[in-house]
């Protein structure tokens, strides 16, 4: 559809319940499409869409390793050791947005597009909160290296983290996450830190690239005193089981308020099956 066709389709939602239902479903499909790009945890954990009625049960390679589960969003992570099977609980993540019927009647499709972005941001924020809470809980002294907050992220910090991860057979670093301040430390590196060829790999036109084939990524929600190195190979760190993929619905309770509403729902979980696949760089 061209722009005018989209506007006319959007106008129909002001008077037609069927049009609102179709619009809500279309919003859900668009949000679901961008979630893998927007949610860092969907790139850190191994995502598994469960068959209907299936239970998320996983077998650690070594039962003695430290595993972690999140019982529910906002609850304290639970450490599990010595279990031959780990059951990862799933829980609901929900979101909702609304806008005035008048905006639909007037064909202000940009209002609907902004509401879709708010809905997407809400779902992403809840996934991130849950997934990262588990990661941070799993980073004990056994998988943490230290550095200086004054010096910031250094090549030595990253080298120490790589050595810590590779001290366990079968683990290899894939990606390092840090916030914009710590990424700024790396951007300040000069030819006294890296040779020109390596610098071109690290500093890319659009931001950071890679170091020693480790992707360097920014995540704004991290603190200045932390960075995290991951082996994101399938099944290494843990899983994000999805019992119900994202669904969106028209919210009929909004019509009496002269508004159009969309509600969203998904059921997901987070489980770290082997905490050796993450190393924290703690700056003090």
The region of weakest confidence among 199-208, 245-254, 270-279 is 199-208
Task: Note the pLDDT of residue 191.
Answer: 84
pLDDT digits (tens, 9 = 90+) for 39-93: 999 999 999 999 999 999 999 988 788 999 999 999 999 999 989 999 999 999 9
Task: Note the pLDDT of residue 183.
Answer: 94
Would you place residue 148 in the very low, low, confident or very high pLDDT band (cuts 50, 70, 90)? Answer: very high
Task: Note the pLDDT of residue 206.
Answer: 64
pLDDT digits (tens, 9 = 90+) for 194-239: 888 888 888 886 678 999 999 999 999 999 999 999 999 999 999 9
Task: Note the pLDDT of residue 203.
Answer: 83
Task: Note the pLDDT of residue 139.
Answer: 97
**Structure-block tokens of residue 177:** 């996450």
Q: What are phi and psi of 149, to 5 degrees?
A: -65, -35
Q: Is the pLDDT of residue 151 over 90?
A: yes
Over the chain, what is the mean pLDDT?
A: 94
Q: Domain limits of the chain?
A: 1-284
The region of weakest confidence among 128-142, 158-172, 204-218 is 204-218
Task: Note the pLDDT of residue 205.
Answer: 67
pLDDT digits (tens, 9 = 90+) for 13-32: 999 999 999 999 999 999 99
Domain 1-284 maps to which CATH number in 3.30.565, 1.10.20, 3.90.1690, 3.40.50? 3.90.1690
Q: Is the pLDDT of residue 149 over 90?
A: yes
């Amino acid at each position: 559809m061209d722009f005018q066709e989209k506007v006319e389709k959007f106008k129909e939602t002001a008077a037609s319940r069927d049009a609102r239902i179709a619009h809500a479903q279309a919003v859900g499909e668009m949000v679901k499409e961008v979630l893998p790009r927007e949610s860092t945890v969907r790139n850190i954990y191994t995502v598994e869409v469960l068959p209907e009625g299936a239970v998320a049960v996983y077998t650690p390679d070594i039962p003695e390793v430290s595993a972690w589960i999140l019982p529910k969003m906002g609850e304290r992570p639970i450490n599990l050791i010595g279990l031959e099977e780990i059951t990862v609980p799933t829980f609901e993540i929900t979101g909702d947005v609304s806008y005035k019927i008048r905006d639909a009647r007037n064909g202000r499709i940009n209002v609907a597009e902004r509401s879709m972005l708010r809905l997407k941001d809400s779902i992403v924020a809840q996934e991130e909160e849950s997934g990262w809470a588990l990661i941070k809980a799993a980073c004990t002294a056994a998988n943490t290296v230290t550095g200086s907050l004054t010096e910031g992220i250094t090549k030595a910090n990253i080298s120490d983290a790589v050595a810590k991860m590779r001290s366990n057979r079968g683990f290899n670093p894939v990606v390092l996450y840090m916030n914009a301040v710590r990424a700024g430390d790396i951007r300040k590196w000069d030819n006294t830190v890296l040779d020109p060829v390596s610098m071109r790999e690290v500093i890319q036109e659009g931001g950071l690239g890679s170091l020693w084939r480790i992707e360097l990524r920014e995540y704004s929600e991290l603190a200045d005193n932390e960075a995290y190195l991951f082996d994101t190979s399938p099944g290494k760190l843990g899983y994000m089981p999805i019992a119900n993929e994202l669904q969106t619905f028209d919210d009929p309770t909004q019509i009496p308020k002269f508004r159009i509403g969309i509600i969203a729902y998904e059921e997901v979980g987070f489980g770290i099956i082997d905490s050796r696949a993450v190393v924290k760089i703690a700056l003090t």
